[in-house]
Amino acid sequence: MMDMGTLTGLGFLKMHGAGNDFVVIDSRGRGAVTTPALARALGDRNRGVGFDQLAEIRDSGEADFELDFWNSDGSRAGACGNATRCVCDLVMRGLGRDAVSLVTARGRLHAVRGADGLVSVNMGAPQRLWSEIPLAEAVDPAHLPLAGDPAAVGMGNPHCIFFVPDAEAVDLAARGPEIEHHPLFPQRTNVEFASLVAPDRLRLRVWERGAGITLACGSGACATAVAAAERGLTGRRVTLEMDGGRLEVDWRKDGVWLSGPVATVFEGRLSPAMMAQA
C-alpha cells in the first residue's frame, strides 16, 4: 500500500502540446520555487518526472499571469510556444474564459481558444537583428556563414533553421548538439531541419537547446515558418508536420500566431525527498 504520508509535497501537472511535454507548477499566491537544481532533478526521465520544459506560473500585476520556462538541463528559456499554449488552456479553464493575457521574458502575450478547441498564442514579432537573436558577430541572420546555408530567427529564444531536401534523412542526434554549441551562438541555439512538402506545408524535426530531440517545438515552428516565408519557399500561413503532431503558424501583421492541440495528462505531488534533492 502506498505511504501517502510521504507524498505531501509540491503539486504539479503534466501537460503536452503535440508531444512536447511539460511539468507545470502553479506558484500563484506564493513565491516561485523553481531553481536550476530542481528543474534538472524533475527533468530526469528516470529519477524525476521527466519533461522537455518546466513552466512555472506566477502572479502578475499587469496580465492574467506570468510564466517562466526551464529546460530539462536546468537552463532558462525565454520562450516556449507549446508550454504557453498548454498553460493558457489551464488558466482559461480556471477562469471560465476563452482568452487570456500573460507576461513572459518576451513581454506581454495574448492567447485564445478557437472554436476547433485548438489554443493559439501570439508569439510576437520575430527577432531579425543578429544582436537580438543573439549571434556572436554581425552576420546576415537570413544566410548564416555555416555549411548548409541556415537562417537564424529569434522568437524570444534563438533558432537556427536548415532547409534540406529530406528532414527524415538528417542525423539529428549528431547535427543538433554540434549546431547548438557552435560559437556563432553565444547563448547556444535550438536547431531545426525542415523540408518543403507544399507551399503551405513543411516537415520539421527539432533539436532543442537544453532538452535535445523533442516531438514538437512551438517557437521552432514559428521561427521556421518565418524563415521559409522570407526565403519565398512558403506563404506566411503554414502547417508544420512534427514527430508529435501538427502545429499551425500564421505570421500576421500583429505577430506570429501559433496554434495546436493541448492535453493535460496527470496531476501529481513531489515527495519531500525529491524536493530536498534539489
Ligand X SMILES: N[C@@H](CCC[C@H](N)C(=O)O)C(=O)O
Q: Which residues are catalytic?
A: 80, 217
Q: How far is the CB of 244 from ligand X (least distance, A)?
A: 11
Query: In the range 84-143, which residues lie near ligand X by CB under 6 A?
Result: none
**Which C-beta is closer to ligand X: that of 182 or that of 269?**
182
To 5 degrees, how large is the angle CA 14–CA 20–CA 23?
A: 25
Is residue 39 a contact residue for ligand X (CB under 6 A)?
Answer: no
Question: Of these, 74, 126, 154, 210, which contacts ligand X (CB under 6 A)?
Answer: 210
- Residue 54 is classified by DSSP as E
Residue 161: partners with Cβ closer than 8 Å, 6 or more residues away: 150, 151, 152, 153, 192, 194, 223, 224, 227, 228
122 annotated among ligand-binding-site residues: no
Which H/E stretch holds residue 85? helix 81-95
Question: Of these, 26, 66, 180, 208, which contacts ligand X (CB under 6 A)?
Answer: 208
Question: Of these, 10, 20, 124, 179, which contacts ligand X (CB under 6 A)?
Answer: 20
Q: How far is the CB of 139 from ligand X (least distance, A)?
A: 20
Q: How far is the CB of 156 from ligand X (least distance, A)?
A: 8
Segment lying near ligand X (by CB under 6 A), choices 96-104, 125-133, 175-183, 214-222:
214-222
To 5 degrees, how large is the angle CA 223–CA 12–CA 72?
A: 45
- Residue 125 is classified by DSSP as P
Query: In the range 63-82, which residues lie near ligand X by CB under 6 A?
Result: 71, 77, 79-82
Is residue 40 a contact residue for ligand X (CB under 6 A)?
Answer: no
Q: Do the beta carbons of residue 60 and residue 27 sit within 8 Å? A: no
Q: How far apart are CA 115 and CA 212, in angstroms?
A: 33
Q: How far is the CB of 127 from ligand X (least distance, A)?
A: 12
- How big is the chain by its Cα radius of gyration, in Å? 18
How far, rounded to the nearest angstrom, does the alpha carbon of residue 237 sit from its chain's CA centroid?
19
Residue ranges that bind ligand X, judged by CB under 6 A: 20, 52-53, 71, 77, 79-82, 157, 190, 208-211, 217-219
